[in-house]
A and B are shown apart, each in its own frame.
Chain A
Amino acid sequence: MMSGHAGPVSVILLGFIVLWYIGAVFMNAPTQIDRYNRADQTWTTSQLIEDTWSQERPILPAPHQVIAEMYQTIFATKITSKRSLVYHSWVTLSSTLLGFGIGTLLGIILAVGIVHVMTLEKSLMPWVISSQTIPILAIAPMVIVVLGAIGIKGLVPKAIISTYLCFFPVTISMVKGLRSPQVIQLDLMRTYNASKWQTFWQLRLPSAMPYLFASLKVAIAISLVGAIIGELPTGAQAGLGARLLAGSYYGQTIQIWSALFTAAFLAAIMVVIVGWCERRVLARMGVGA
């Protein structure tokens, strides 16, 4: 699969990197020129370009600066250190996974309820949908503050914000998935006098699996977003969100970009893992086996 995509993906990536380098020159040139002028220094274009790619606090750091910073903070720093991105990634990842787990479970339970109980569909579904119309940035600090006031701190409040974001796609997909069996299949179960539970386990749940995995890919990614947002109001203690916040306090743009890319990598890896699980499960269910 990779070989088919590798060519086009590399071209896009290469183009992106070239654009980025060019962008870095233009973004950072004014401050660099200003610096030359103040030092009464003469400069050439090639020198300018070189210097815009190696500023300490550039407006837009060059790719190699970000990569160097990532190498430094991921591989060259002890993972117990507060400067290690591995440490911060783990902090974010742990609450992402906890939130994802709770959110998925909640999403499935809600969907099962909505599909099986008519009144739940009418009473619950509008709330499920309206819950997502509230901006998460507005509600996240409230969750942190309220839970902090009753003594719940650290992992759990962040996980709850992830849960809040990621149960939604799971619920919506699972409602659709659990309703995806055809009438003829439901009739078939009826001719066997199958109970609701038997119909659920033997027919509805297996039918919903493709829907579930599609939603899990979305859920795991936004779960990470939720965890990062949850780290912002905690006053930059730990986690990728905290790195982002600290970076912006002190104008450490390289640090911000490193954290951003690390977050993107984490999300990509988790989506790939979910995709791998999906293929394993669907293969066991006879799809293209």
Chain B
Amino acid sequence: MTLKQVVDNVAEMPASKKAVVDVKDLSLTFQTTDGPVYALSEVNLTIEEGDFVSFIGPSGCGKTTLLRVIADLEKATGGEISINGVSPEDARQARAYGYVFQAPALLPWRSIESNVTLPLEIMDLSKEERIKRAHDALKLVELNGFEKKFPWQLSGGMQQRASIARALSFDADLLLMDEPFGALDEIVRDHLNEQLLKLWARTNKTVAFVTHSIPEAVYLSSKIVVMSPRPGRIIDVIETKFPKDRTLDIRETPEFLEIAHRVREGLRAGHSNDE
């Protein structure tokens, strides 16, 4: 059923959009002292321009690994992957994506503003340009006014917003987010989800978003990729038809609950394999 579903879903896609991430038969095996670990196995996926793709699955399903392969932080051991038509390494060197980690990873000795300008400094932009872009990026995440604060003076949610501003500052078209709100409480998470959606609608960026929250995945995404562990693989790809300017209210609609149900079923099916 699952393979057919994937094929069906792929067939449904409008062909006009440009593929930002194209993954074919990708696999990644870590050689450890306890023997090989199959982190990813025969993964096929296309992320198109303007997509918001969520990766969901239990820990060990390879969702973070997949994101890291896209970001050239890990090397695939088999299959093909291209980002904007080039290899992940070339894409990274062209600064094709902004990456948001699980933790804010702000440098504690830099103010919020100069944390956001860090990538711009590395890219050798002029000081005026850096300040201007940092200002714009902080405005996008509603952190204007906090430029001169140090990270420890901000709450966890604000720190993560600053790290998103940092990923936005150099205006890459692709945003890779690895469970960015995983450590935050529900209320803050809802708020940041809303902000992220607005940001996505406004900037038309392509987003790849790793999460283990079903409501978060369904609420945010235009496409949900359900993954399963041992070996890490894709077991379902679900497209949602919610408008880009959706609000939190859609979580009460039957359509939302139906998709959430399908995601949950997929996760459950993936789990039953090893229990």
Contact = CB atoms under 8 A, between A and B. Distances in A.
Contact of B95 (A182, A192, A203, A285): A192
Interface string B72-116: 110000000000000000001101011101110101111100000
Nearest to A281: B109
Nearest to B176: A191
B107 A203 contact: yes
Interface string A176-202: 000000101101111111100010001
Interface in A203-247: 203, 206, 209
A284 to B, nearest CB: 8
B95 A184 contact: no
A8 interface: no
B121 A190 contact: no
Contacts of A194: 122
Given A182-B105, A185-B105, A194-B122, A286 B110 contact: yes
Interface in A252-289: 285-287, 289
A194 B111 CA distance: 20
Contact of A188 (B101, B123, B152): B101
Given A185-B105, A286-B111, A191 B122 contact: no
Tell me if A's interface is mostly helix, strand, loop or mixed: helix
Contacts of B71: 191
B114 to A, nearest CB: 10
Secondary structure at chain B's binding surface: helix, strand, loop or mixed? loop
Given A190-B73, A202-B121, A184 B101 contact: yes
Interface string A143-186: 00000000000000000000000000000000000000010110
B122 A287 contact: no
B107 A206 contact: yes
The interface size bin for chain B is 20 to 34
B119 interface: yes
B105 A287 contact: no
Contacts of A190: 72-73, 92
Given A194-B122, A198-B122, A202-B121, A184 B110 contact: no
A184 B101 CA distance: 7
Contacts of B119: 192
B242 interface: no
B222 to A, nearest CB: 24
Given A286-B150, A289-B150, A191 B73 contact: yes
Given A198-B122, A202-B122, A191 B107 contact: no
B43 interface: no
Contacts of B23: none
Contacts of A193: 92-93, 95, 122
- Scoring A189, A193, A289 by chain B CB atoms within 10 A of each residue's CB, the highest score goes to A193
Nearest to A286: B150
Interface string A35-62: 0000000000000000000000000000
Interface of B: 71-73, 92-93, 95, 97-99, 101-103, 105, 107-111, 118-119, 121-123, 150-152
Interface of A: 182, 184-185, 187-194, 198, 202-203, 206, 209, 285-287, 289
6 contacts: A190-B73, A192-B122, A193-B122, A202-B121, A285-B108, A285-B109
